[in-house]
């Protein structure tokens, strides 16, 4: 089961972070969701709630090569900034991405993520509270 850290963040604050600085990174353990490899996933949160959206995570996310299950509990959109990944959705659709590609996935799906090379993404997850 994926353990998702939650940090408080004032709703009306301006959040700023750099992908390339060492401060602010949190381990993001995937636990039993890992199928193979050692993803050593990390995230740097910019926001955990929105003014009009009860749940909104805005973050950088990194992973080393690995294969793991992923649940899209909320709407998620991300841009792959570096690396090479593929996501095979529960529908059978396969999405292969390299740096500069973006995707938007609606809540309720599951998939298997294959990370072929160290990858970094900028992601926005929004929806109702869990």
Strands (DSSP E) found in the chain: 26-27, 34-37, 42-47, 55-63, 66-72, 75-89, 94-98, 102-105, 109-127
For 88-109, the DSSP string reads: EETTS-EEEEETT-EEEE-TTE
What's the pTM? Answer: 0.82
Weakest mean pLDDT among 2-16, 32-46, 84-98, 101-115: 2-16
Q: Where are the domains of the chain?
A: 26-127
- Using one digit for the tens of pLDDT, what is the confidence trace for 18-70? 888 888 898 999 999 999 999 999 998 877 766 556 667 788 999 999 999 99
What architecture is domain 26-127? Answer: Sandwich (2.60)
């Amino acid at each position: 089961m994926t353990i998702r850290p939650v940090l408080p963040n004032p709703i009306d604050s301006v959040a700023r972070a750099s992908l390339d600085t060492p401060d602010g990174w949190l381990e993001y353990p995937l636990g039993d969701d890992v199928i193979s490899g050692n993803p050593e996933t990390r995230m740097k949160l910019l926001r955990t709630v929105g003014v009009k959206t009860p749940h909104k995570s805005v973050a950088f996310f990194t992973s080393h090569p690995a294969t793991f299950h992923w649940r899209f509990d909320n709407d998620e959109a991300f841009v792959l900034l570096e690396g090479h990944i593929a996501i095979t959705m529960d529908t059978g659709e396969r999405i292969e991405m390299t740096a500069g590609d973006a995707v938007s996935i609606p809540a309720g799906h599951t998939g298997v993520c294959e990370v072929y090379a160290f990858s970094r993404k900028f992601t926005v997850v929004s929806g109702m509270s869990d």
